[in-house]
Amino acid sequence: MATPDTDAGATPEPAPVPKVTRARARTVQAAPPHPPALEPEPEYRDLTITQGGMDSAHAVNIRLTQGGITNATADAIDLQQGGIVNAQATDIAVSQGGVVLARGERVSVEMGGALLAVAGEMRVSQGFARTVLAREARIEQAAVGTIAAGRVTVERTTAVAVLLARQVDGPVKALLDWRGALAFGAAFGLVVGLLRRRP
């Protein structure tokens, strides 16, 4: 059966208007701007450098002999007759070499030098350290500029300029102990303050 044709002049019915609902406000926790960086995997398992150098070295174990590294990161660093600018490891052993900055749980300097050492346990034997910040420090026949530690053990002849420690064992004569350092700091601050007031 044929259906009747629709009138060509008829106006089509308007489309239904969609129902608009208000969105509920919700709190969205913003992500941190910089997510914590993951520690990169070491490039090498055992890295040995003899009479050579690298700008950056990242390994489990680094052994450097008569060479140099700018930045060294490892679990253990063994430096002999060489130099490292920035060394960071759990164990750092320096023998007849030098480190500008050494940061580790255990740092040992023997017949070598370190400008700044930050360690849990620090040992300097027949060497030099300009500044030592440590939980425990053992100094033997060495020269130290400034040492700040919870406990300091001194053996044999040792020269220390400024000594700040809760406990000191052994014969040591510092040019300034913690009391002298406080007095010197107060006097220095007073002098600087007076000089600033002068026209």
DSSP letter, residue 126: S
Give the pLDDT of residue 194: 54
Q: Where are the domains of the chain?
A: 44-197
Q: Where are the beta strands (DSSP E) in the chain?
A: 44-50, 53-65, 68-80, 83-95, 98-110, 113-125, 128-140, 143-155, 159-169, 174-176
Report pLDDT for 22: 52
Contacts of 26 (CB under 8 A, 6+ apart): none
Residue 164, helix vs strand vs coil: strand
pLDDT tens readout for residues 126-157: 999 999 999 999 999 999 999 989 999 998 87
Alpha carbon distance 65, 71 (integer Å): 15
Nearest to 166 by CA among 129, 136, 140, 145: 136
In this structure, what token pair is assigned to residue 78? 């063994």
Q: What is the pTM of this model?
A: 0.67
Quick one: pLDDT at residue 164? 86
CB atoms inside a 10 Å sphere around CB 92 = 28
Q: Quick one: average pLDDT of 29-49?
A: 63
Helix ranges (DSSP H) in 44-115 = none
Q: How many residues are listed for the chain in this entry? A: 199
Query: What does DSSP assign to residue 127?
Result: S
What would the pLDDT profile of 62-104 be if each residue is shown by its tens digit?
A: 999 999 999 999 999 999 999 999 999 999 999 999 999 999 9
User: And the tokens for 183?
Assistant: 């007095």
Q: Of the candidates 102, 69, 103, 101, which has an alpha carbon nearest to the alpha carbon of residue 83?
A: 69
* Range from 10-14, 34-38, 115-119, 175-179 carrying the lowest mean pLDDT: 34-38
